[in-house]
Chains A and B, each alone.
Chain A
Amino acid sequence: MSLPLRYPRSPMAWATAAMLASLVVLALAGPLLWGAAADRPDPAAVLQGPSAAHPFGTDNLGRDVLDRVLTATRPSLLLALAAVLLGATGGILLGASTAVVGRRARRLLTGLINLLLAFPALLVAMFLAVVFGAGADGAMLALAVAGVPGFARLAQTLAAAVAGTDHLASARVLGLRRHRLLWRHVLPNIAEPLLLSTTTAAGTALVALAGLSFLGLGVQPPGYDWGQLLNQGLDRIYAEPLPALAPGLAVLYAAVAFQLLGEVLAGGVARRSPAPRTPAAPIATSGPATEGLVLQVEDLTVELPTPAGVIRPVRGVSLSLRPGEIVGLVGESGSGKSLTALAIADLLPDRARISRRTLRLLGADLAAMTPKERERHLATGLAMIFQNPASALNPSLRIATQLTETVRTHRGTSRAQALTDASDALRRVALPPAVLRARPHQLSGGQRQRVMIAAGLMVRPSLIIADEPTTALDVTVQRQITRLLSEIRRDTCAAVLFISHDVALVGEFCDRVAVMYAGTIVETLPADRLSTGTRHPYTRALVASVPNLTADRDRPLPTVEGALPEPLAPTPGCPFESRCPRRRDHCTEQAPPLEGLDAVHRVACWNPVAAEVVAS
């Protein structure tokens, strides 16, 4: 198990280790060192307060309280550990087996666990301790049994997650037997969280055991543990708080030690270096504005700190959109499309650092504005539509609220006016005004995406950035949404930046396409050149690997061998170099710039595919 070693240098981990070590040492050595003294009565020193000889005073027989507390470490810890181990074993086996037994047995077991869980463990333990008879063994057993349902529920929940995975389904279909499924596939995959909760449960058991002894149900005199010592001393609390409280402090110390152990194991108190938050260099004002552009981005770079180091998922991206233009940004997963969009909209996570030469929305330089102006400018000039309409709408707010809040906040529109506008916006996306009163879960996926688009339309934006707006939808609905976006573009003259990984969709629906690979734009071209006029080797391979309905089924599909470059160790050369069939020596040394082949076609490649070759 590699868990405990993951954060060895955190001071909290050291403190916790020291606390636990002290407990172990006390449990081992306590009875040997202080056991005799703890049992020696001294009629001359009965019920004394703290003194040099007795730092925590003496009890009613004149025995030293400190010695007794130290000696009691062993029984207190041992009983708690035994109870937890027994309870955890029983509970985990019971809970984990729900993942591999048949349907009926599973329902029965689940019902049983639910039933038992309705009762608090402490109450069950008290009840059982009474039934088993007051005494250390009875209390320990009682606690073990009382702990079973809690562990069973946890193991059941974790195992259910494993049971839902594809690999467990496959293992079942393979015909593996139940015990093998349990031991080989379920238990190893839930061991870590279970270990974690076992440590916390050890602390809880220690406290509960002390509680039982405190009630007189646990360890019986002349034996003693912390709870019993506390019980004996409680009456004195009015006269001498310290001797009365000493055993309580011991319980507290041990309980906190176990809690912290759980925390350390979970990595919760790992030393986190404060994120490298070098104050972002004051961004210089943007380069000169080009007339008639809705969006002008030049040399956009995004840096993100990750645990392994700083990565640059977006590297020198330039984009521009004219009014009424639909530009597709296409690329495979992880190529940096979403981050580019978020960077433009100023929605990157705090940790991200962004640099660019120019970033102008509607000609206005975003860097030259005060934060307040910028927010307002972005809120009213730009609308974002995200990939998953199911999660992009707030499930607990009515559609009316979600549609009207932007204009109410930024334009100060009255409520009534905003509602009228919202009905209009809904009509625009072919939804009835009744939708205003609905909540998102009452709508279908396609309807939700229409609502997202309507929400964007409310501010009458000049630019709509749609990040994979149709990926989560069925093809027929996808078709409706792209049609809707085209119509909106036609009617409002808004520019649309359409992000997608679907080359065919982008090629069919956009005017212009920018192809992204490993954080850079490798080619920009008119959409109608995608099928045969591409010049960059990557674009070409990407297009070729899409099966279409007329594909020759006897020829294998062309594929792109190899993998994306390692984000942590970017090479100076062309990012596609490791996978490129047209690579030359020069490609490894210098990254190719994005250069114009003609007025509308630009490509970043030292050795582009010749146009004639493509056509054959």
Chain B
Amino acid sequence: MTALQLTDLTVRHHGPRGPVAAVDGVSLEIPPGTTLGLVGESGSGKSSLARAIVGLTPVHGGRVLLDGREVRARTVGDRRRLGRLVQIVLQDPDTALDPRMTVHQTLGEAATVFHRLDRRARAERVTALLELVGLNHRFADRLPRHLSGGQRQRVAVARALAVEPGLLIADEITSALDVSVQAAVLNTIRDLQRRLGLSMLFIGHNLPAVCYVSDAVAVMRHGRIVETAPTEALLRDPRHPYTRTLLASVPSLRTSLPDEGPS
């Protein structure tokens, strides 16, 4: 369990017309053991924020505090210290796993980053990790191309969990998946929250999916957070006009009138 605190975080990218602030002075807090959902439209800066926290993108201003301590990702040593605390799972199931490594190799590599494990211990760890994300141990010998998109994303989650981080960042992990597959991955995430007590930053553009797994939700637009509130409160009583537009745009099924039963 790790607490995350961002103060005034700024990330800039080089655009065609000079630098653009993708993340513009964002402050956020994730108390230990809770999940913050982050929603926003494409280009609102969600991924830049996530990548900056784990050191994949340089930070241009503000601070990232993990359990109250400032972290940086300048050297490989820094990155390893950071990696023990935070891990990330990314969007694209097609490139999420090294196409030339079996699930066993991928998970085994991740499990031995910080500990030496002998063959037996490693195999046990891989099985345990697969079980954690709801996959049968028989998947261990498969190559990524023999897994479905949802299975690949779950293996990617298992890889991130292999180093036992306190905070997991999930960046649009279900966006490229079909709904029925998305449901399975969301269930896995809920299950992990319950069993491991992880802190989590769950990023997505699909508001219902994000709300389903989050304790609180932050709404991002043009690099800024426009509203943060506990999930129920946000759904019940959105304050910011943009949040209201967003909520109103979410399609939902009309209930049919004729044969509606008591529910």
Which A residues lie at the B interface, using CB under 8 A?
Answer: 103, 165-167, 169-178, 184-185, 188-189, 332-333, 474-476, 478-479, 501-505, 507-509, 526-533, 541-543, 545-551, 553, 556-560, 563, 611-612, 614-616
B247: nearest residue on chain A (CB-CB)? Answer: A549
* Contact present for B256 and A173 (CB under 8 Å): no
B259 at the binding interface (Cβ < 8 Å): yes
* Contact present for A532 and B261 (CB under 8 Å): yes
* Contact present for B92 and A166 (CB under 8 Å): yes
Residues of B contacting A504 with CB < 8 Å?
250-253
Residues of A contacting B118 with CB < 8 Å?
none
* Contact present for A175 and B113 (CB under 8 Å): yes
Task: Compute how far the CA of A508 lies from the CA of B256 in the bound complex, rounded to whole angstroms.
Answer: 11
Residues of A contacting B212 with CB < 8 Å?
547, 551, 553, 557
Residues of A contacting B76 with CB < 8 Å?
175, 177-178
* Contact present for B187 and A559 (CB under 8 Å): yes
Q: Which 4 A-B pairs have the closest CB atoms?
A: A615-B261, A175-B80, A175-B83, A545-B183
Q: How far is the CB of B30 from chain A (nearest CB, A)?
A: 17
A-B contact pairs, 18 of them (CB 8 A): A166-B91, A167-B95, A169-B56, A169-B88, A170-B88, A173-B79, A174-B110, A174-B162, A175-B113, A476-B245, A501-B178, A501-B179, A502-B251, A505-B251, A532-B255, A541-B180, A546-B179, A547-B183
Q: How far is the CB of A496 from chain B (nearest CB, A)?
A: 16
* Contact present for B250 and A475 (CB under 8 Å): yes
* Contact present for A188 and B100 (CB under 8 Å): yes
* Contact present for A176 and B253 (CB under 8 Å): no
Tell whether A531 pairs with B256 under 8 Å between CB atoms, given A173-B83, A509-B251, A542-B180: yes
B229 at the binding interface (Cβ < 8 Å): no
B200 at the binding interface (Cβ < 8 Å): no
Question: A529 contacts which of B184, B213, B252, B256 (Cβ < 8 Å)?
Answer: B256
* Contact present for A548 and B208 (CB under 8 Å): yes
Residues B161-211 near A (CB distance < 8 A): 162-163, 178-184, 186-187, 190-191, 205, 207-209, 211
B77: nearest residue on chain A (CB-CB)? Answer: A175
A169-B90, A475-B207 known; 16 other A-B pairs, CB under 8 Å? A165-B92, A177-B76, A184-B109, A332-B179, A474-B42, A501-B179, A503-B179, A504-B250, A504-B252, A526-B256, A530-B256, A532-B260, A532-B261, A557-B187, A559-B187, A616-B261
Task: Compute how far the CA of A177 lies from the CA of B179 in the bound complex, rounded to whole angstroms.
Answer: 37
* Contact present for B254 and A170 (CB under 8 Å): no
Residues B92-111 near A (CB distance < 8 A): 92, 95-100, 109-110
Task: Compute how far the CA of A189 lies from the CA of B58 in the bound complex, rounded to whole angstroms.
Answer: 26
* Contact present for A476 and B249 (CB under 8 Å): yes
Q: How far is the CB of B162 from chain A (nearest CB, A)?
A: 8
CB-CB contacts of B208-226 with A at 8 A, as 1s and 0s? 1101110000000000000
Task: Compute how far the CA of A561 lies from the CA of B41 in the bound complex, rounded to whole angstroms.
Answer: 31
* Contact present for B260 and A174 (CB under 8 Å): no
Task: Compute how far the CA of A556 lies from the CA of B183 in the bound complex, rounded to whole angstroms.
Answer: 8
Residues of B contacting A548 with CB < 8 Å?
208, 252-253
* Contact present for B187 and A556 (CB under 8 Å): yes
Residues of B contacting A615 with CB < 8 Å?
259-263
Residues of A contacting B254 with CB < 8 Å?
507-508, 527-528, 530-531
Task: Compute how far the CA of A173 lies from the CA of B85 in the bound complex, rounded to whole angstroms.
Answer: 10
Q: How far is the CB of A113 from chain B (nearest CB, A)?
A: 20
Q: How far is the CB of B125 from chain A (nearest CB, A)?
A: 14
Q: How far is the CB of A533 from chain B (nearest CB, A)?
A: 5
Task: Compute how far the CA of A458 lies from the CA of B113 in the bound complex, rounded to whole angstroms.
Answer: 61
Residues of A contacting B58 with CB < 8 Å?
103
* Contact present for B95 and A166 (CB under 8 Å): yes
Tell whether A172 pairs with B253 under 8 Å between CB atoms, given A532-B260, A612-B261: no
B100: nearest residue on chain A (CB-CB)? Answer: A188
Q: How far is the CB of A575 from chain B (nearest CB, A)?
A: 15
Task: Compute how far the CA of A422 lies from the CA of B118 in the bound complex, rounded to whole angstroms.
Answer: 71
B98: nearest residue on chain A (CB-CB)? Answer: A167
Question: A475 contacts which of B84, B246, B261 (Cβ < 8 Å)?
Answer: B246
B160 at the binding interface (Cβ < 8 Å): yes
B71 at the binding interface (Cβ < 8 Å): no
Residues of A contacting B56 with CB < 8 Å?
169, 172-173
A543: nearest residue on chain B (CB-CB)? Answer: B253
Tell whether A170 pairs with B160 under 8 Å between CB atoms, given A532-B260, A557-B187, A557-B212: yes
Task: Compute how far the CA of A332 lies from the CA of B148 in the bound complex, rounded to whole angstroms.
Answer: 14
* Contact present for A333 and B251 (CB under 8 Å): no
Task: Compute how far the CA of A507 lies from the CA of B255 in the bound complex, rounded to whole angstroms.
Answer: 10
Q: How far is the CB of B200 from chain A (nearest CB, A)?
A: 14
* Contact present for A475 and B205 (CB under 8 Å): yes
Q: How far is the CB of A613 from chain B (nearest CB, A)?
A: 9
Residues of B contacting A509 with CB < 8 Å?
251
Question: A479 contacts which of B181, B249, B253, B262 (Cβ < 8 Å)?
Answer: B249
Question: B41 contacts which of A475, A530, A550 (Cβ < 8 Å)?
Answer: A475
Task: Compute how far the CA of A109 lies from the CA of B181 in the bound complex, rounded to whole angstroms.
Answer: 43
A334: nearest residue on chain B (CB-CB)? Answer: B178
Residues of A contacting B113 with CB < 8 Å?
174-176
Tell whether A557 pairs with B208 under 8 Å between CB atoms, given A167-B98, A170-B159: no
* Contact present for A551 and B208 (CB under 8 Å): yes
B52 at the binding interface (Cβ < 8 Å): no
B156 at the binding interface (Cβ < 8 Å): yes
Residues of B contacting A507 with CB < 8 Å?
251, 253-254
Residues of A contacting B253 with CB < 8 Å?
503-504, 507-508, 530-531, 543, 546, 548
Task: Compute how far the CA of A184 lies from the CA of B90 in the bound complex, rounded to whole angstroms.
Answer: 20
Tell whether A559 pairs with B97 under 8 Å between CB atoms, given A174-B159, A611-B259: no
Residues of B contacting A551 with CB < 8 Å?
208, 211-212
Tell whether A532 pairs with B256 under 8 Å between CB atoms, given A476-B249, A553-B212: yes
B55 at the binding interface (Cβ < 8 Å): yes
* Contact present for A165 and B187 (CB under 8 Å): no
Q: How far is the CB of A608 from chain B (nearest CB, A)?
A: 14
Residues of A contacting B80 with CB < 8 Å?
175
Task: Compute how far the CA of A574 lies from the CA of B96 in the bound complex, rounded to whole angstroms.
Answer: 34
Residues of B contacting A479 with CB < 8 Å?
248-249
Task: Compute how far the CA of A501 lies from the CA of B178 in the bound complex, rounded to whole angstroms.
Answer: 8
Residues of B contacting A533 with CB < 8 Å?
256, 258-259
Task: Compute how far the CA of A550 lies from the CA of B263 in the bound complex, rounded to whole angstroms.
Answer: 14
B89 at the binding interface (Cβ < 8 Å): yes
Residues of B contacting A558 with CB < 8 Å?
183
* Contact present for B87 and A174 (CB under 8 Å): yes
* Contact present for B163 and A174 (CB under 8 Å): yes
Instruction: Tell which of B41, B162, B251 has the most Cβ of chain A within 10 Å.
Output: B251
A480: nearest residue on chain B (CB-CB)? Answer: B249
Q: How far is the CB of B205 from chain A (nearest CB, A)?
A: 7
* Contact present for B261 and A170 (CB under 8 Å): no
Residues of B contacting A103 with CB < 8 Å?
58
* Contact present for A559 and B260 (CB under 8 Å): no
Task: Compute how far the CA of A563 lies from the CA of B56 in the bound complex, rounded to whole angstroms.
Answer: 35
* Contact present for B190 and A563 (CB under 8 Å): no
* Contact present for A556 and B190 (CB under 8 Å): yes
Task: Compute how far the CA of A503 lies from the CA of B92 in the bound complex, rounded to whole angstroms.
Answer: 22
Q: How far is the CB of A190 from chain B (nearest CB, A)?
A: 11
Task: Compute how far the CA of A436 lies from the CA of B212 in the bound complex, rounded to whole angstroms.
Answer: 44
CB-CB contacts of B24-50 with A at 8 A, as 1s and 0s? 000000000000000001100000000
Residues of B contacting A167 with CB < 8 Å?
95-98
Q: How far is the CB of B38 from chain A (nearest CB, A)?
A: 15
B54 at the binding interface (Cβ < 8 Å): yes
* Contact present for A531 and B255 (CB under 8 Å): yes
Residues of A contacting B208 with CB < 8 Å?
546-549, 551
